[in-house]
Copies of this chain bind each other. A is one copy, B any other.
Amino acid sequence: MTTLVHNTFQLERDYPVPPATVFRHFADETLKQKWFGTDEGWTSLGHGMDFRVGGVEYDEGRWANGTTSRFESRYLEIVDDLRLVYVYGMVVDDVRLSDSLASIELTPTDAGTRLTLTEQGVYYDGHEDPALREQGTGWILDNLGRALTTA
């Protein structure tokens, strides 16, 4: 017997830079590498990014404990400086954990930009707790905040 769990979460962050700057940190591979999926104890096994509708992005690596993971994403909708929609899968040690439809919206504010991320995901066979995915995604957005303010 297998099971699917469906879960949706939404996160908001305010950044003190204009939407075009936030957008560039998603669209430019070098800038994205500064904040996305980098961590101590992580060895990259490869990444690629083809930033256009239909293009694939992937990021693959090994943790210090030997666990490997692969993020693979495909862009579905891109509106410069405004929004970005992609679908991504997570595979850990060759087990598929989940597929998620993710959307990013950028809204100009007096102080800079409000980013709203919404993830609608399907999780396979109890391999991952959606609450942990939400927490991990929040950390990644905090990494982005640090990259934006220390550039």
Contact = CB atoms under 8 A, between A and B. Distances in A.
Q: How large is the interface on A (under 10, 10 to 19, 20 to 34, 35 or more residues)?
A: 20 to 34
Interface in A73-106: 74, 76-77, 79, 82-83, 85, 87, 89, 96, 99-101, 103, 105
A11 interface: no
A4 interface: yes
A106 B100 CA distance: 21
A101 B122 contact: yes
Given A85-B99, A101-B99, A120 B76 contact: no
A123 to B, nearest CB: 10
* Best-surrounded residue of A2, A100, A101 (most CB of chain B within 10 A): A101
Given A6-B120, A101-B100, A120-B122, A74 B74 contact: yes
Contacts of A82: 2
A68 interface: no
A6 B7 CA distance: 12
A8 interface: yes
Interface of A: 2, 4, 6, 8, 10, 74, 76-77, 79, 82-83, 85, 87, 89, 96, 99-101, 103, 105, 118, 120-122, 124
Given A4-B103, A6-B8, A6-B103, 10 more contacts: A2-B82, A6-B10, A6-B118, A74-B74, A74-B87, A76-B87, A101-B121, A101-B122, A118-B122, A120-B120
